[in-house]
Amino acid sequence: MGHETVFFSAADANGSGVFPLSIAVMADIHGNDEALERCLTDAEKKGIRNYLFLGDYAGELAHPERVMRLLYGLSDRYSCLFIRGNKENYWLNYRKDGEKGWKEKDSITGCMLYSYRRLTEEDLHFFSRLEPMRQIVIPGLPPFVACHGSPKRINQKMLPDDPDTLSLMEESPCSLILCAHTHVQRKIKHRGVTILNPGSVGVPLFPVDSACSGGRTQYLILHAVPDSSDPAYAGRWEEEMVTLEYDAGQAIRELHATGLYDNAPIWCRITELLLQGFPLSHGAVLGRAMQLCEEETGTCRWPDIPEIFMERALVELGIPRWFHLDGLSELEMPFTAKYVLKHYLETGQKDQDVYCGTAEPDGVRFTPLREFN
């Protein structure tokens, strides 16, 4: 099962035994310092002194360096335990492999390269010492497992009614598993075992029928509650799911102001839509892009996915593409349509004139129709 950790001992409860004891559980921050600060402020106001982080500290949003400073500062003040996520493996493997393969202005790797360049040697060393899974033992309370994906695989999704998930639950030596990775806040119960997912601090996903929309961040609080029903323990765990509003608009503005949006245009477009509450995911777009790539080229291997397939996947999923006027000539569209659109953006939208377009070998010539103007 991995490493066993005695964590948040009774001594942390001001000498009053294991109660009261609460642990804030946070995951999938993905470089969103605005959201992390909101969650930490809320937890501190509630008097929480114990923190458990389930991985994926950087990536997607603009300020991994601010996130790491917040986390280091928190660990100086409170009891903190950090788990490694799959994103941490990306940074460490990229360093190990000689920093090759990632490139700028690429929606697959541009965002990762941006984040990697803002991480310090201290950050990478910190990530290298993290474990992907821990079994947490606190005297007087049921032990639990903390992991990013699943107890067996760092990038495995623990999902309701999924045979692999149910099998892992049946094999678990603990009655409680804390996991992340899916960005969906949820609770799964099966044969006496409970899975709790705190959702995502940085880029939460919500069901289509959810009342929640954009501008939200999430975490989970575990409360130790006295309970004598099990003679082996003095208490049990109760969860409190937390969803908060925060300034997602600022996080979106930072995507543009820092140049991250230009470095990974489609990936950041998806991030922006998610922060605004659009029912989408990076995985859905990436998965469809890989299908399109394989259908057209006969092969597809991550991360070598041409940008055009990401664009097509986004359009298929109902997301219009944003583009700069300078890139208009590179778009695929009928000859005359391109010139009509360009003329409108440069001229037509600025006046009330009616124009006539005449196709010529080198383009389209637009003439104001004076009789209608």
Domains of the chain: 3-249 (3.60.21.10), 325-373 (no CATH)
Tens digit of each residue's pLDDT (9 = 90 or more) over 122-143: 999 999 999 999 999 998 999 9
Tens digit of each residue's pLDDT (9 = 90 or more) over 291-342: 999 999 999 998 889 999 998 999 898 886 666 666 666 777 776 777 787 7
- Determine how β-strand 50-53 pairs with β-strand 185-190: unpaired
Q: How far apart are CA 47 and CA 345, in angstroms?
A: 55
Distance of CA 368 to the CA centre of its chain: 50
Tens digit of pLDDT per residue, the chain (373 long)?
A: 455 665 664 444 433 456 689 999 999 999 999 999 999 999 999 999 999 999 999 999 999 999 999 999 999 999 999 999 999 999 999 999 999 999 999 989 999 999 999 999 999 999 999 999 999 999 899 999 999 999 999 999 999 999 999 999 999 999 999 999 999 999 999 999 999 999 999 999 987 666 667 899 999 999 999 998 888 898 999 999 999 999 999 999 999 999 999 999 999 999 999 999 888 899 999 999 999 999 999 999 988 899 999 989 998 988 866 666 666 667 777 767 777 877 777 777 677 788 787 877 777 787 887 766 5
Asked if 292 contacts 305 with a C-beta cutoff of 8 angstroms, the reply is no
Please state the pTM of the whole predicted model: 0.85
Q: What is the DSSP letter of 337?
A: H
